[in-house]
Amino acid sequence: MAASSTFVVGSLVWTEDPEEAWIDGVVEEVNDEEIKINCTSGKMVVAKTSGVYPKDAEFPSSGVDDMTKLAYLHEPGVLQNLRCRYDMNEIYTYTGNILIAVNPFRRLPHLYDSQTMEQYKGAAFGELSPHPFAVADSAYRLMINEGISQAILVSGESGAGKTESTKMLMCYLAYMGGRTGTEGRSVEQKVLESNPVLEAFGNAKTVRNNNSSRFGKFVELQFDERGRISGAAVRTYLLERSRVCQVSDPERNYHCFYMLCAAPDEDIEKYKLGNSRTFHYLNQSNCYELDGVDESKEYLSTRRAMEVVGISSEEQDAIFRVVAAILHLGNIEFAKGEEADSSEPKDDKSRFHLKTAAELFMCDEKSLEDSLCKRVIVTRDESITKWLDPDAASLSRDALAKIVYSRLFDWIVNKINNSIGQDLDSKFIIGVLDIYGFESFKTNSFEQFCINLTNEKLQQHFNQHVFKMEQEEYTKEEIDWSYIEFIDNQDILDLLEKKPGGIIALLDEACMFPRSTYETFAEKLYQTFKDHKRFSKPKLSRTDFTICHYAGDVTYQTELFLDKNKDYVVPEHQALLSASRCHFVPGLFPPLPEESSKSSKFSSIGSRFKQQLQALLETLSATEPHYIRCVKPNNVLKPAIFENSNVLQQLRCGGVMEAIRISCAGFPTRKTFNEFLNRFRILAPNILDASCDEVAACKKLLEKVNLQGYQVGKTKVFLRAGQMAELDALRTEVLGRSASIIQRKARTYFCRKSFILLRFSAIHIQTLCRGQNARHQYERMRREAACVNIQKNSRTYLARKAYSNLRSSAISFQTGMRGMAARNELWFRKQSRAATVIQTQCRRYLARLHYLKLKKAAIVTQCAWRVKVARRELRKLKMAAKETGALQAAKSQLEKEVEELTWHLQQEKQMRADLEEAKTQENAKLQSALEENAKLQSALEEMQQQFQETKALLIKEREAAKRVAEQVPVIQGDPVVQEVSVIQEVPFVQEVPVVQDVSVIDQDMMNKLTAENQQLKALVSSLEKKIDETERKFEETNKLCDERLKQASEAESKMIDLKTAMQRLEEKLSDMQTEDQIMRHELKNSASRKLSGNLSMKAIQPLENGHHEPQSSAPVKKFGISDSILRRSQIERQQENVDALIQCVTKNLGFSQEKPVAAFTIYKCLLHWRSFEVEKTSVFDRLIQMIGSAIENQDNNSHMVYWLSTTSTLLFLLQRSLKAAQKPPQPTSFFGRMTQGFRSSPSSSNIQVDAVRQVEAKYPALLFKQQLSAYVETFYGIIRDNFKKDLSPLLTSCIEAPKISQGTDLQSSSPPSSPPSSLWNDIIKNLNGQLSTLKENFVPRVLVQKIFTQLFSYINVQLFNSLLLHRECCTFSNGEYVKSGLDELELWCTQAEDEYAGSAWNELKHTREAVVFLVVHQKTRISYDEISNDLCPVLSVQQLYRICTLYGDENYDTPCVSPDVISSMKVIMTDDSNDDDTKSFLLDDNSSIPFSIDEISGALDVKEFSDVKPAAELLENPDFQFLQE
């Protein structure tokens, strides 16, 4: 990928760096083949032109999701794009149809939940963000649509996340085609459950990974013709058997060995194990434990996993017995024996482990020792036993351990396949290949050689696939590609595996010769391939060799090549283990063929591996491949660390760079016509002014810049390598010239602005100087005027002071003279006034003395008269007291009569009980009771009349007393009046008649009173004593009157009670007369006395379904019932009434006073029939069945809304009416029982019948209310879902509008117009129609509010999720478009008012905040706190991060938030991910029922039903006349 561009000063470029791999900078100087670059790190670098690559100045900050969209497809561009996306937690990137997955080393649960699977289901490849689900979905769709088996190749080095990616692919394929097995677990579940078992026996710790797979795995998911998983199989390749015996530091052996050493005590004792450090196969390395891994727990979990995949407990014990035997085999050491070249166990410890291994293998100890220390050579005539030296015995021991472990691993894989179940008749397969990546270590042995051979073969398959995809792309675009050369690695494959001269063939040949060593093998390689360009010999080694692979040079050490390539079973070992007493061990070694049982048969691991690899490639060739390249960003296995050199090496090893080389061989840069013209229209602006299409415009532009070798396809422009840089150089030159013009204009503007500023400053300075001079001149003139003014005022002051002194002297003299004259006049006037006052006082004293005498005489006279009147009134009060006593006697008589009435009532009850035995006596007693009642009634009328007279008399007396108190004169200020003032305070004065004042003006009377003054004084004293006594008696009389008044009120209440009792007696009398008539009629038809008794009780029993026989309190005449009516069955009549009601309310009866007529009619009928109070009825079942039949027509919204209104109104009436049945407390007193009966009497005029009244409900009524509540919720849910269904296509059109609107006119430079607003108008029309339907059916407003609240919540979920899932929706222009739609919705909520819309507008808070963020300008200046607290307080960090990373707007060129804000969000998300692993950025739709019965009950009022009219159809039926009441 050598750069072929011509760089100019100022160009942005990439150059190689030993630390960062590639570093960007700006060209400072160009000298022929060398370029001087100022790097962004601050250092200056001089590099050759061939090692420099152009950098895209318009590279988006968030990167691109497909490498083919890069303007420059080269190593630094790919590396920069991966790093940008990795920093934003975008770990997946496409390169065409190849997925690159960078291991984040953290949990990202929101990328793999069921919602994400649903999003990728059926989506076109590349429509959504890169993801393994997209690759799996593409493979599944191709398999279903084209009937071709598929293969997904997952590769990468150890720790890159291959296993996790494989699990994700399996989960998605299970989601698409899963099917439950017969045992309750699906096939894909069994495959996933087998992973822990395979990892325990096939994974180990390596230098780069703690859980590295040391084998290749190919999982076949088998599908039937319907696309359902029908079976599966697991294929494994090249288990690293040498690791069983040889482990390098700091690596570990297979996990199962360490798990078994940490097993429970009983297992350790059973297998005679100990610490892992005591075993030779484990202590070759110093690493025994892994951080964060508990081996004892892993052992138990592995055994549970083995149970899950179908391995029984006996088989598990056998497996771990074999593993323990391998560990004991490793501890057997050998020493020289007694014979020459012989060997034997070294010491007792070795013999102990030998014995233990024999016990675990369940074979003979001596036979095991012989198989390790001896060999039997079979000749034509005889068999020769040969001893092995200690070294050969150790090799024999290791060979036994390796072959046993290899066979054990193969047995486990076969067992898993049998447990999973293969479908041999499957139509298609999807294979998932999880295989090791390219390996290059300090020491590379035979395992690395085989692994790299596998990767070379897969790379050839990969290159062919990439080249094929390139050909398909060029063919699709109809461009010429015949001259493009294909890059192939067939020469390396020939070097490795070609027969007979390949490395593997030479290795097999060396293994077959006993005397061959690795030195001779290396010499053979040097001689054979000394001229091969891919093969070389290191200078400092005699046995190593280097191969130039596609990913780089790898040096291999040949020391162990021969030993590791040999794969044969020693006959002694075969015979020993086949004779084991454990049935499991012989199963690992099936019997050899007869012709080879007597000799050792050689087989090569390399050859066998070639066969397996060839079979794998044949399988892959028969399928359509898909590739996932896993990349490990760092070697410390920690998140947020991206090592450029490490990633670049893995990209090379993974073949990504090879794919880029193939792409660069053709047309690496591909731009759509729109993108090409938007970027390079500046090179030829006059072309776009003409009326031509996009293709013609692109061709003219390319012809104008004289570019050669390009191709113009149907939808894209294809550029050769380096041509994009040339166009950018031309574009940079044009922009530079434009910048010079802009700078010239800007400098002119600034110079003119500076001149104008200087001129303005000079004028301003001149103005200030002239103003200063003027102010000095004015100050001088002002001081002169002030001096003149001061002189004038001083002279005025002196003259005024002289005048004032002269004037004050004259005034003082005048004052003294006038004061002396005034004092003389004052003395004279005081003397005259004193004389006048003395005369006045003398005259006044004489007149007052005369007046007091007259006043005393008048008062004495008045007192005498008042005493006389008081005595007269006292006598009247005494008479009234006697009459009150008579009233009390009448009261006693009345109580006696009441007791007699009580006795008569008891007699009536007794007579009713004995009605059949003494009818004649009963009638006589009834007649006497009527006469007595008549007497009582007349007596009560007389008593009532007397009471009214007494009450009128008391009222008159009270009024007279008030008038007396008002008219009595009050005289104050006189000593005599004060002496007798006590008379005015007595209470009885308020009730005595009015006394007029006596005239005392007559002169003769005055003379007479004066003469008798002395006599009156004595009389006054006597009168005072009498008045005191009269006052005391009056107080007693007043108290007595109050008591009588209280007794009168009590008598009045008792009279009311008596009236009540009489009314009850009249009712009972009429009932008894009615019963008598009925019984007489029945006696005529039947002579049975028992039947007549039952008939009298049946009249008061309720009929079926809660209906009662209507009873009347009228006289006997109303019971004129004919024989035909009595014979009619009451049950049949009530059933007819129920049928009529059901038939009527099934129709749409409309509304009355905004209330459903059907609900009110049902309620009135149930209330009248008293159905709520019975223990058993079928009315409610009929009604529930009728309501349930209304749900069948769910698509008719108007029908559903009508029944929602009807059922909710009926539920409200039941909620207000029904109460739990309980007995009211019975009154204990007689008057209490009479009062209760009086109040409950239907003839009372004080009772008002309301539209709704409470009744005591039984169980059927309460059950009916619960069922009705459930139907209300059902109708509500159906209506809400229907409304959502109507809104869904409209919302989908609004969401897809941004995608359609992207096809803007390229000839205009203005930004694209927003989509038409008619889509939002359709939503508004839909909402108006829904609201109109709800209003027409008078649905309770609380339910209307809940419906629109959930509808707006659904709109919020759909709009918000579309913003977070589609990049084209998360733009500035789309934000303005959605904002206009939200304004329409807000206007609708305002017009609909709160009583219908409620809090619906608040449900759009997520979408509103997201739109506010999209349309805000200068996002780069906004901090994270401002976003989270001010702009978007409701949105979560995940949602904000998703919006920020998806945001992009090429039309308006509005940048997103700063990188610091993105970093802050990533830190917070990292912290949150440790606490909550299931948090997703998508919203869920709420489908719950958001109301209760109490809310419906509180939304309506009982008074609103007072004027509701029942169904007119039922009013014509005589049995429903009660509806008119």
Is residue 1462 within 8 A of residue 88, CB to CB? The reply is yes
Interatomic CA distance for residues 481 and 713, integer angstroms: 12
Is residue 1294 within 8 A of residue 1320, CB to CB? The reply is yes
Interatomic CA distance for residues 693 and 674, integer angstroms: 11
Of 1456, 1451, 1480, the residue nearest 1361 (C-alpha): 1480
Q: Are strands 334-336 and 343-345 parallel, antiparallel or unpaired?
A: antiparallel
Angle at 94 between CA 88 and CA 99, to 5 degrees: 100
Question: Which member of 89, 212, 565, 1060 is catalytic?
Answer: 212
- Whether 212 sits among the annotated catalytic residues: the reply is yes
Task: Report the DSSP beta bridge partners of residue 432.
Answer: 152, 219
Known binding residue 181? Answer is no
Known binding residue 156? Answer is yes
DSSP-derived 3-state class of residue 555:
strand
Known binding residue 200? Answer is no
CA 593 distance to own-chain centroid: 68
Interatomic CA distance for residues 448 and 107, integer angstroms: 31
Interatomic CA distance for residues 520 and 1463, integer angstroms: 59
> Looking at this protein, which amino acid is placed at residue 128?
L
- Whether 634 sits among the annotated catalytic residues: the reply is no
- If one counts every other C-beta atom within 10 angstroms of the C-beta of residue 1511, the result is 25
Question: Residue 630 belongs to what H/E stretch?
Answer: strand 624-631
- Whether 439 sits among the annotated catalytic residues: the reply is yes
Question: Residue 150 belongs to what H/E stretch?
Answer: strand 150-155
Interatomic CA distance for residues 530 and 543, integer angstroms: 14
- Whether 159 sits among the annotated catalytic residues: the reply is yes
Q: Half-sphere exposure of residue 1407, counting CA atoms within 13 Å on the CB side?
A: 30
Question: Which member of 81, 95, 149, 158 is catalytic?
Answer: 158
Strand order of the sheet with strand 150-155? Answer: 92-95, 98-102, 624-631, 150-155, 428-434, 216-223, 229-237
Known binding residue 470? Answer is no
Q: Is 337 exposed, middle or buried (0-12, 13-18, 19+ CB in 10 A)?
A: middle
> Looking at this protein, which amino acid is placed at residue 288?
Y
Question: Which member of 77, 437, 1237, 1398 is catalytic?
Answer: 437
Q: Is 629 exposed, middle or buried (0-12, 13-18, 19+ CB in 10 A)?
A: buried
Is residue 631 within 8 A of residue 654, CB to CB? The reply is yes
Nearby residues of 1092 by Cβ (< 8 Å), 6 or more positions away: 916, 1079, 1082, 1083, 1086
Is residue 1426 within 8 A of residue 1344, CB to CB? The reply is no
Interatomic CA distance for residues 1187 and 628, integer angstroms: 58
Residue 1500 per-residue DSSP state: S
Known binding residue 161? Answer is yes
- Whether 477 sits among the annotated catalytic residues: the reply is no
Question: Which member of 38, 61, 186, 209 is catalytic?
Answer: 209
Question: Which member of 116, 129, 155, 163 is catalytic?
Answer: 163
- Whether 950 sits among the annotated catalytic residues: the reply is no
Question: Residue 954 belongs to what H/E stretch?
Answer: helix 919-967
> Looking at this protein, which amino acid is placed at residue 515?
R
DSSP-derived 3-state class of residue 107:
coil
Interatomic CA distance for residues 73 and 56, integer angstroms: 10
Of 1226, 1253, 1239, the residue nearest 1172 (C-alpha): 1253
Interatomic CA distance for residues 402 and 588, integer angstroms: 13
- If one counts every other C-beta atom within 10 angstroms of the C-beta of residue 1325, the result is 12
Question: Which member of 213, 356, 663, 1428 is catalytic?
Answer: 213
- Whether 691 sits among the annotated catalytic residues: the reply is no
Known binding residue 127? Answer is no
Interatomic CA distance for residues 1370 and 1295, integer angstroms: 11
Question: Which member of 439, 470, 991, 1075 is catalytic?
Answer: 439
DSSP-derived 3-state class of residue 182:
coil
Interatomic CA distance for residues 575 and 578, integer angstroms: 5
Whole-Å CA distances, 1255 to 434, 1217, 1252, 1259 = 75, 6, 10, 13
Question: Which member of 25, 159, 502, 655 is catalytic?
Answer: 159
Residue 830 per-residue DSSP state: H
- Whether 158 sits among the annotated catalytic residues: the reply is yes
Interatomic CA distance for residues 1419 and 269, integer angstroms: 69
Cite the annotated binding site for ATP by residue number: 156-163
**Where in the sequence numbering do the catalytic residues fall?**
158-159, 163, 209, 212-213, 437, 439
